Amino acid sequence: FQSAVGTTQFHRKGVMDWRSGIALAIPAVVGSLLGAQIAVQINEALFERIIGVVMLIML
């Protein structure tokens, strides 16, 4: 809901770049779907290790 309200306000003010938004949204949606499928199918211990490594990298 919050994202929809923000998008509407940016659109009304004319600062919304739809082409860039769509170019970013498509891979984000695909990555979310693939990531969810992988997370459900892999071993829990392996998943926890992967999350730990990713968190360390993001620091």
Of 39, 37, 36, 59, nearest to 48 by C-alpha is: 39
Q: Given pLDDT bands bounded at 50, 70 and 90, which one contains residue 32?
A: very high
Q: What is the pLDDT of residue 28?
A: 96
pLDDT of residue 13: 94
Helix, strand, coil in percent for the chain, rounding step 5: 85, 0, 15
- B/e letters for 14-46, b = 16+ CB within 10 Å, e = fewer, are eeeeeeeeeeeeeeeeeeeeeeeeeeeeeeeee
- Give the pLDDT band of residue 16 (cuts 50, 70, 90): confident
